[in-house]
Structure 1
Amino acid sequence: MTAKASPKSGLDVEEARATSFPSSKQGGWITFPFITGSLLALVIALSGATSNLIVYLIEQYNVKSIDAAQISNIVNGCSSAAPVLGAIVSDSYFGCFAVVAVSTFVALLSLILFTLSATLPSLRPSPCAPGSNTCQAASTPQLAVLYAAVALMCVAAGGTRFTMATMGADQFDTALEQDTFFNWYFVALYAGSVAGATVLVYVEDSVSWGWGFGACTAASAVGFVVLLLGTRHYRRPRPGGSPFTGLIQVVVAAARKWKVTGDQQADYYHGPGLLHGLPPPTGSFRCLNRAAVKTEGDTNSDGSVAKPWRLCTVKQVEDLKTILRILPLWSTSIFLSVSIGIQGSLTVLQALTVDRSLGPRFSVPAGSLMVTTLVATALSLSLLDRCFFPAWRKLVREKNPTPLQRVGLGHVLNAVAMAASALVERRRMRAVRTHHLAAGSPGSVVPMSVLWLLPPLLVVGVGEAMHFPGQVALYYQEFPAALRSSATGMIALIVALGFYLSTAVIDLVRKVTDWLPDDVSTSKLDRMYWLLAAGGMLNFGAYLVCASVYKYRSVPEEVGSKEEIPGRVVG
């Protein structure tokens, strides 16, 4: 069926998307090497730039430690929020491929600016004198170049990170293939992050910042070329106009008909010529059902909608209800990103104070420490797909754990990781007091191996392997087809809000407590971690309540099935 409605009306967007694949020869696993290869190179490049941003600001731009951590969280928040806009643009106007291609090129421009800032002395302030407490601040032109590079990097993340996931999922027809793609997509995502946060960060720390950022630029160029090489193989669903227009129309129509009731099936509008044999709207969010109640003058003689801001289809109403039902579950995942963001930035500051030497000639870069989480996530995803899920199916004789079950386990592991970080920090501070290290002494090193900081990061990585892919699968499965890019973009919004809120939480803690001074050798970071652990368990309780009452919109009974089964309660 060809969609006849105007794209601006928001009607029939799903049908337009479903019938827009140009050729049956396109799509499938032949696209996998190009999509994941491009992703791998791009993530290596961006990870090499962002993983060491805190150290770059401290060493090259003379920024204080806690301030550098805050700036890094804000940058991470912006680069995580941008994919939401990228998803909306791809769903509504240009499609996934065009948005991904342009954003990949923008990433290349961003890394060129980073390379220039690292190689041209005029683009950085003068280095701090050893032991000096007064350092020259960066000038306005110097900051302008840095901010431009960061802004372009955020734009690049907006059109690649999760829009590329939707682009890949669009190449497959069955739920099993899509779920397998998502797992390996995240393997590539984390593997690229590992490579960038180790190899390239090591080059930046041990060779030079210029060579490090130059390598990031080269990796970005490779990713752009690989993406273009697969152009002829990609399916490119045509966007059918903004799907959000139809959702807004439901709210407006329901508000305009707040006195109207629809008690019989014939009172509800399903579309032109669809009058009999179709069920009425579901009972949840009953007030929105008014938007689909037909009143005099709402339709034309041929049955089409005469007043789209006064009458909507039952399908539009149910699409909005789907989003509203999933929002409570989505909101409980924000705290996961808050704790991960705070732990990540504080762990880098901890790493700068401890003994990072592994042997006589190698020292672990502080910015590379977060690679532990990435390695744990990548390995866990591989083991889940190849070992854990097959064993689950044999032992329990059921399908894989549901997305809700995976996300719930991720909540528990995240809280455990925060408690572990608190215990490790208590040990670090005990070493500081035992050896009477002078606060703020230049070059003073806590006699404690950097390896003690790794176990909490490993637990966080395993937790991410459970909850992030679980959320992507849940949103992609539950959201209407026209909102699939926006569905995967919901993860980006979670991460963005987590980084923004982590900055706000740190600011609040600094104002009301003495836990986070500029010198981490006099800090009380363990109390911060205990606070996150307690908040994580309370948040997990809220998640259990939301998950226990959630009803799946669509549950594939067989591989590739797209049958909708409303009302199935997930325990």
Structure 2
Amino acid sequence: MEEDHSSSFSGFVEDGSVDLHGRSVSRAHTGRWKASFFVIGVEIAERFAFAGILANLVIYLTDVMGESTATAAKNVNVWSGVATMLPFVGAFVADSYLGRFWTIALSSVVYLLGLILVTLSASLRSLNRIWIFFFSIYLVALGQGGHKPCLEAFGADQFEENDPVEKKHKSSFFNYWYCGICMGTLLGVTVLLYIQDNVGWGLGFGIPAVTMAVALFIFLCGTRFYRHKLPGGSPLTRIIHVFVATFHKWNVSTSHQEKKKVAASAETGVLKFGSRRQYLPTDQFRFLDKATVEDELDYDCKTTRNWRLCTVQDVEEVKAVLGLSPIWMSCLIFGVVFAQSSTFFTKQGATMDRKIGKFEIPPASLQSFINLTIILLLPVYDRIFVPIARNLTGNERGITFLQRIGTGMFISILSMIVAALAEIRRIKAAKDNGLIDMPKATIPLSISLLLPQYILFGLADVFTMVGMQEYFYDQMPDTMKTLGIAVYLSVLGVGSFLSSIIILVIEKLGGSHWFVNNLNKAHLDYFYWLLASLSAINFCIYMFLASRYKYKNAQNNISYQEESCRERTLLPS
């Protein structure tokens, strides 16, 4: 991760980046790894704090709040789903109004307040614990909604896309970013879980609050090194604009587009910051091209925003967003599988022999093996696999985004198969030892039996999780990068919701015995086989969609104003 200054073509960054006060920034003294180290450090601290809430949440709800296993799993999935859907709100605010820096700062304060309330609800028994606890964890989710997508996009912003060396470093950034996530999570699921299980929940929740305060301090310390991208206006407004204009021009012929005589009026005052890469016209979703055809009503329009006419750039950006939708939907089953590591996997481990000598392992701490696998393998992937693959494929990333995602999906199928086989063996051990009707008894079977499924989860994450982050960030339009990270996070959020829905449907269809509180009588193996089957079917669909996907094609260093120079063809109204 060494700095390389040989790529500097001028003294200033040329991608429109500015400092906190809106001034041009020096390439040599801002951004790159010197800035991204602060961002990664903040993420390590934030993930440590978040792991202290999520990893043991199902245990807290069942053992302290008295909820059933199925209810606790559904509550965890719903909360996790909300936590990974709220980034859409944070992304919208950052891309439209506040910018990433101020959104991160404000959401960190909300995050910290939520963690303080979680600590109070666990420490002061006189409070209405259930109400305070659920309010506080959803406040944490709200804070994370602004913090999570903006921080990752902000870190990637520190590398200039137009600089070949910095572009290569940006690809490495996503690997080390996720490595940092796993380091923080690993510390959380070991240190904090041990404290929560053996010392007390108050201290176990209080440490994350202190850590989040430290994270905010670290973030502010790096202010003078950061490169900032100014907000480019509401992406939602531009998307709606394209569809409204298309509706108005539904009966207009697009033959003019085929002759490259496309009207594209510049939207003065809406897109007013710096420059963005311009998309080349594509053949996808050609019905949207109608929005760029100008007629007499458009020519006579004197309003600031003509809702009947769009620029070619805006139409192509909407096409790019729509083009991501099939891949996003085909990633959702992976999100369902991902949700299991913090719910049913943890409950499985709680029934098994967790002792190593005199030390008893908290069941949720096995999640640390997912993170440990990632921490060990991501540097290998970045430093060994990518250079070798680059020489073989000619792709600067070694393999494409979608190839990387698909590889992890295949490994996730194997993880569900291994989990089902491990559960069959666990239930058999309970029967053989006469423990079927003794849910509190420890089954004489080492918890290490579950290690392979956790390790496979980690290996799948090395490919799919990092691949999705880079894919959705890279393929989103330049003014919607934060939204791209939110789209990636929503895969995990919707996956958590789908996991809850699948459990609910199974229970309604008479499969409630799969999830009874006594796991020795339950059939989690059936559930894992179902997920393995769904994942295999989904993988085939994904392969088909990935083979048809067209990566975006954009030209660099084209300003907004250049669109106004495009040829116009006036059509009769």
Note whether the superposition's TM-score is higher than 0.5.
yes
Alpha-carbon distance, 1:305 to partner: 7.2
Give the secondary structure class of the aligned counterpart of 1:218.
Answer: helix
**Counterpart for residue 268 of structure 1:** 262
Contact 2:267–2:305 at 8 Å: present in 1 too? no
Contact 1:268–1:280 at 8 Å: present in 2 too? no
Among 97, 102, 106, the alignment partner of 1:102 is: 106
Unaligned runs of 5+ residues in structure 1 are 1-13, 124-140, 563-571
Contact 2:338–2:492 at 8 Å: present in 1 too? no
Asked if 1:428 is matched to 2:423, the reply is: no
Structural mapping, 1:171-210, within 5 Å = 171-174=158-161, 175-210=167-202
After superposition, give the CA deviation of every residue in 1:74-120 in whole Å (9 maximum; x if it has no partner): 11111111112111110011011111111222222111112112222
After superposition, give the CA deviation of every residue in 1:502-550 in whole Å (9 maximum; x if it has no partner): 0111111122223221211101111111111111110000001101111
Q: Which moved more, 1:203-212 or 1:164-173?
A: 203-212
Structural mapping, 1:223-238, within 5 Å = 223-238=215-230
After superposition, give the CA deviation of every residue in 1:55-84 in whole Å (9 maximum; x if it has no partner): 111222122222111111111111111112
**Counterpart for residue 221 of structure 1:** 213
Q: Distance in 2 between matches of 1:97 and 1:206?
A: 38
Structural mapping, 1:137-176, within 5 Å = 141-174=128-161, 175-176=167-168
Contact 1:45–1:217 at 8 Å: present in 2 too? yes
Q: Distance in 2 between matches of 1:52 and 1:266?
A: 59
Q: 1:98 to 1:18 in 2, by over 3 A?
A: closer
Q: 1:516 to 1:260 in 2, by over 3 A?
A: same
Among 79, 84, 92, the alignment partner of 1:75 is: 79
**Counterpart for residue 164 of structure 2:** none
After superposition, give the CA deviation of every residue in 1:218-242 in whole Å (9 maximum; x if it has no partner): 2111111101111122122221210
Q: Distance in 1 between matches of 2:403 and 2:323?
A: 17
**Counterpart for residue 284 of structure 1:** 284
Asked if 1:61 is matched to 2:65, the reply is: yes
Contact 1:81–1:493 at 8 Å: present in 2 too? yes
Contact 2:17–2:228 at 8 Å: present in 1 too? no
After superposition, give the CA deviation of every residue in 1:193-250 in whole Å (9 maximum; x if it has no partner): 1111111111111111122122212211111110111112212222121022111111
Contact 2:407–2:464 at 8 Å: present in 1 too? yes
After superposition, give the CA deviation of every residue in 1:474-498 in whole Å (9 maximum; x if it has no partner): 1222111001110111111111100
Q: Distance in 1 between matches of 2:280 and 2:71?
A: 56
**Counterpart for residue 376 of structure 1:** 373
Asked if 1:340 is matched to 2:334, the reply is: no
Q: 1:446 to 1:541 in 2, by over 3 A?
A: same
Contact 1:21–1:236 at 8 Å: present in 2 too? no
Q: Distance in 2 between matches of 1:338 and 1:442?
A: 27
Contact 1:353–1:446 at 8 Å: present in 2 too? yes
Asked if 1:240 is matched to 2:240, the reply is: no
Alpha-carbon distance, 1:398 to partner: 4.6
Alpha-carbon distance, 1:267 to partner: 4.4
Query: What one-letter code is carried by the residue in structure 1 that aligns with 2:248?
Result: R
Contact 1:38–1:223 at 8 Å: present in 2 too? yes
Q: Distance in 2 between matches of 1:422 and 1:273?
A: 56
Contact 1:91–1:486 at 8 Å: present in 2 too? yes
Q: TM-score, normalised by structure 1?
A: 0.87
Query: What one-letter code is carried by the residue in structure 2 that aligns with 1:220?
Result: M
Structural mapping, 1:307-386, within 5 Å = 308-359=306-357, 361-386=358-383
Q: 1:307 to 1:237 in 2, by over 3 A?
A: closer
Query: What one-letter code is carried by the residue in structure 2 that aligns with 1:473?
Result: E
Asked if 1:504 is matched to 2:498, the reply is: no
Give the secondary structure class of the aligned counterpart of 1:369.
Answer: helix
Give the secondary structure class of the aligned counterpart of 1:518.
Answer: coil
Q: Distance in 2 between matches of 1:522 and 1:39?
A: 41
Give the secondary structure class of the aligned counterpart of 2:294.
Answer: coil
Alpha-carbon distance, 1:271 to partner: 3.2
Q: Distance in 2 between matches of 1:122 and 1:18?
A: 50
Q: Distance in 2 between matches of 1:39 and 1:272?
A: 39
After superposition, give the CA deviation of every residue in 1:133-173 in whole Å (9 maximum; x if it has no partner): xxxxxxxx322210221111101210122211101111110
**Counterpart for residue 23 of structure 1:** 25
Contact 2:281–2:312 at 8 Å: present in 1 too? yes
Contact 1:298–1:307 at 8 Å: present in 2 too? no
Query: What one-letter code is carried by the residue in structure 1 that aligns with 2:191?
Result: V
Q: Distance in 2 between matches of 1:316 and 1:113?
A: 43
Query: What one-letter code is carried by the residue in structure 1 that aligns with 2:479?
Result: A
Asked if 1:444 is matched to 2:441, the reply is: yes
Contact 1:87–1:159 at 8 Å: present in 2 too? yes
Asked if 1:257 is matched to 2:243, the reply is: no
Q: Distance in 2 between matches of 1:471 and 1:31?
A: 23
After superposition, give the CA deviation of every residue in 1:311-357 in whole Å (9 maximum; x if it has no partner): 00111111111111121011100110112213531111111111111
Q: 1:178 to 1:21 in 2, by over 3 A?
A: farther
Q: 1:383 to 1:21 in 2, by over 3 A?
A: farther
Give the secondary structure class of the aligned counterpart of 1:95.
Answer: helix
Query: What one-letter code is carried by the residue in structure 2 that aligns with 1:312?
Result: C
**Counterpart for residue 535 of structure 2:** 536
Q: Distance in 2 between matches of 1:279 and 1:199?
A: 48
Q: Which moved more, 1:400-409 or 1:235-244?
A: 235-244
Q: Which moved more, 1:21-30 or 1:195-204?
A: 21-30
Q: Distance in 2 between matches of 1:312 and 1:355?
A: 64
Q: Which moved more, 1:407-416 or 1:239-248?
A: 239-248
Contact 2:52–2:192 at 8 Å: present in 1 too? yes
Contact 1:509–1:516 at 8 Å: present in 2 too? no
Give the secondary structure class of the aligned counterpart of 2:306.
Answer: coil
Q: Distance in 1 between matches of 2:227 and 2:96?
A: 17
Alpha-carbon distance, 1:21 to partner: 6.2
**Counterpart for residue 403 of structure 1:** 401
Q: Distance in 1 between matches of 2:89 and 2:131?
A: 24
Alpha-carbon distance, 1:280 to partner: 8.6
Give the secondary structure class of the aligned counterpart of 1:323.
Answer: helix
Q: 1:31 to 1:147 in 2, by over 3 A?
A: same
Q: Distance in 1 between matches of 2:267 and 2:361?
A: 68
Alpha-carbon distance, 1:297 to partner: 2.5
Contact 2:17–2:227 at 8 Å: present in 1 too? no
Contact 1:299–1:305 at 8 Å: present in 2 too? no
RMSD over aligned Cα, in angstroms?
2.5
Q: Distance in 1 between matches of 2:263 and 2:236?
A: 19
- Work out the percentage of aligned pairs sharing the same amino acid: 33
Q: TM-score, normalised by structure 2?
A: 0.86
After superposition, give the CA deviation of every residue in 1:390-443 in whole Å (9 maximum; x if it has no partner): 22234555531110110010110011100000000010011011111142x363
Alpha-carbon distance, 1:379 to partner: 2.1
Contact 2:186–2:368 at 8 Å: present in 1 too? yes
Alpha-carbon distance, 1:18 to partner: 8.8
Among 34, 40, 61, the alignment partner of 2:38 is: 34
Query: What one-letter code is carried by the residue in structure 1 that aligns with 2:290?
Result: R
Asked if 1:118 is matched to 2:151, the reply is: no
Contact 1:329–1:543 at 8 Å: present in 2 too? yes
Give the secondary structure class of the aligned counterpart of 1:248.
Answer: helix
Q: Distance in 1 between matches of 2:23 and 2:516?
A: 57
Alpha-carbon distance, 1:450 to partner: 0.6
After superposition, give the CA deviation of every residue in 1:429-480 in whole Å (9 maximum; x if it has no partner): 11011111142x3631111111101111110111111011111211222111
Alpha-carbon distance, 1:367 to partner: 2.0
